[in-house]
Amino acid sequence: MNGYIEQPKERRRLFCEEAQERLNLPAASLGKDYWVCRYSVLRKCFRC
């Protein structure tokens, strides 16, 4: 999943748009969900 972060912003947007087409979900929520999950994992790892 780190590969996603390393991609340019435009490429990440295209990933979300492709997932939107395949999953029939809003692209904006897919991008947001990624960051929410990442934040939650980091909090659990570091117990903040």
How much is the pLDDT for 22?
Answer: 94
Q: Which domain holds residue 25?
A: 2-46
**Cα(31)–Cα(14) distance, integer angstroms:** 11
What percentage of the chain carries pLDDT values higher than 70? 94
How much is the pLDDT for 40?
Answer: 86
Q: How confident is the model at residue 10 (pLDDT cuts 50, 70, 90)?
A: very high
State the total domains in the chain: 1
Between the alpha carbon of residue 29 and those of residues 35, 37, 45, the distances in Å are 10, 12, 24
Which is higher by pLDDT, 21 or 2?
A: 21
Residue 44 pLDDT exceeds 90: no
Specify the pTM: 0.62
Between the alpha carbon of residue 24 and those of residues 1, 10, 16, 27, 45, the distances in Å are 21, 20, 11, 9, 32
